[in-house]
Amino acid sequence: MALERLTGEEFAHYQQEGYVVKRGLFDAETVERVRERLREYTHGDRSTQGFTTQVEPGAEEQGIDESDAVRKFEGLGLLDDDVVYDLATDERLVSVARDLLGPDVKLLRSAAMFKPPHVGSEKGLHQDSAYYPVRPYEQVTTWIALDDATPENGCMEVLPGGHTEGLLDHETQNYETDIVIPEDLGEMKQLPMETGDVLFQHSLLPHRTAPNTTDRWRRAMIFMYMDARSRFTDSEEERPPWVDSVDVAGDSYPGSV
């Protein structure tokens, strides 16, 4: 298969280690456009109807205003926003997704992660596929750094090669709360990133982020892409409300998610 944007070395690294980082994929102007739109949601009057909002636990008790303690926005309803949609369908992202998934690609997840100063909490060790009962378990999660991400403010930590172990047992199979892998699996690797860098990771790759102990935000946009032939693994009656999809590239297939 001819690669569009990844080098052969990058493709091999993704296959072996479960992730690849594309440095400087997005320019400062693109990033600032997204950051400004997110500020309109958190600190302006733009409506957040259509997607869920999660606030950092304990913020109210600490007297922190909700606008300064948003943990994440989640849901494909984010794609109704033109700025978010343009980013999710940007050829710089989609071309890498095609390199990793093939020509027919759908979007499974859209989220904005905030990790606000001081109150930004940790995200425990988990695999993205544990939240999304969609086969095959070969989705690609993109993590777009909207701020510099450091060990101090909660950069991504991954278990290199951990995606080859399949879907692991998670402590709480509850789609309304965090679910985590309850045991230490091995040596984690921190992935500091600069604004505009993009992490592409396999949906089975165990990963986590630490709390933000700094005065700086650590914002990121997340999009999760899948092969357009992917299927829901359980009965339609049990389908979680967030398991849906949006066509991004190539063809669609009957019976797919």
What residue ranges of the chain have pLDDT lower than 50? 173-176
| Cα 3 to Cα 98: distance, rounded to the nearest angstrom | 8
Domain map of the chain by residue range?
A: 8-249
Six-digit token string for 165: 């172990």
Residue indicated by tokens 């027919």: 104
What is the second-level CATH architecture of the domain 8-249? Answer: Sandwich (2.60)
Residue indicated by tokens 């997840």: 109
Confidence (pTM): 0.93
What b-and-e string marks burial along 57-88, b requiring 16 or more CB atoms within 10 Å of the CB? eebeeeebeeebbbbbbbbbbbbebebbeebb
How high is the pLDDT of residue 133?
83
Residue 181 near residue 170, CB atoms below 8 Å: yes
How high is the pLDDT of residue 177?
53
| Cα 252 to Cα 155: distance, rounded to the nearest angstrom | 35
